[in-house]
């Protein structure tokens, strides 16, 4: 499991702010047997379901897909960057990674917490940038919604603020739009 979590963290880093796997599934023909949608195709969509009011309030805009599939762990989502380039950026991904898998991999930094009555956990996937980054997993039925925030020292508008405080504020604004059944 630790290898899976490491692989996803590595894939998120490699994905950066560039494009990811794209395209949309082809519609099934009437002759095809019905197929249940994958967990990633149902519920919360990190690229469509972040409320526009939150994006405006946080001065963020979508930078594109951030998809990864490593070792049986699938993550799909998008990155959001500061509109003027002087603030933090955050990746939001729906993942089959569970909080237990995150805890097994990041036991030294794992901090269980509840946000709006939902099971969450903070962890540090980038120890070399711990002061400028923070990650959080929010439990959902199909795994987690992963939030990975970077607040670089060069971010004039937000560099003086703690990355985990920024992430906590962002997640509290978004959590109401994420169904626990997603």
What is the reported pTM?
A: 0.76
Does residue 114 belong to any structural domain of this protein? yes
Does residue 53 belong to any structural domain of this protein? no
Query: 130-150: per-residue pLDDT in tens?
Result: 889 999 999 999 999 999 999
User: Are 182 and 43 spatial neighbours (Cβ–Cβ below 8 Å)?
Assistant: yes
Query: 46-85: per-residue pLDDT in tens?
Result: 999 999 999 999 999 999 998 988 888 889 999 999 999 9
Range of the domain at 70: 58-177
Does residue 52 belong to any structural domain of this protein? no
Does residue 93 belong to any structural domain of this protein? yes
Show the beta-strand stretches assigned E in the chain: 60-65, 68-70, 73-82, 89-95, 111-115, 118-123, 133-140, 143-150
Does residue 43 belong to any structural domain of this protein? no
Does residue 29 belong to any structural domain of this protein? no
Total domain count for the chain?
1
Express the helix, strand and coil content of the chain in percent, nearest 5 each: 25, 30, 45
Does residue 64 belong to any structural domain of this protein? yes
Does residue 71 belong to any structural domain of this protein? yes
């Amino acid at each position: 499991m630790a290898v899976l979590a490491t692989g996803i963290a590595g894939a998120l880093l490699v994905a950066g702010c560039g494009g990811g796997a794209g395209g949309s599934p082809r519609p099934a023909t009437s002759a095809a047997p019905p197929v249940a949608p994958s967990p990633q195709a149902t519920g919360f969509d990190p690229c469509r379901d972040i409320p526009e009011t939150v994006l405006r309030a946080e001065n963020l805009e979508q930078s594109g897909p951030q998809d990864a599939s490593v070792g049986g762990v699938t993550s799909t989502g998008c990155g959001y960057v500061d509109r003027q380039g002087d603030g933090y950026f955050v990746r939001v991904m729906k993942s089959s990674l569970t909080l237990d898998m995150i805890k097994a991999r990041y036991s030294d930094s794992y901090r269980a917490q509840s946000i709006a009555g939902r099971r969450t956990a903070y962890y540090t996937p980038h120890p070399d940038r711990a002061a400028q980054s923070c990650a959080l997993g929010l439990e959902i039925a199909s795994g987690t919604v992963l939030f990975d925030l970077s607040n670089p020292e060069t971010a004039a508008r937000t560099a003086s603020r703690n990355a985990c405080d920024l992430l906590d504020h962002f997640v509290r604004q978004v959590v109401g739009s994420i169904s626990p059944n997603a």
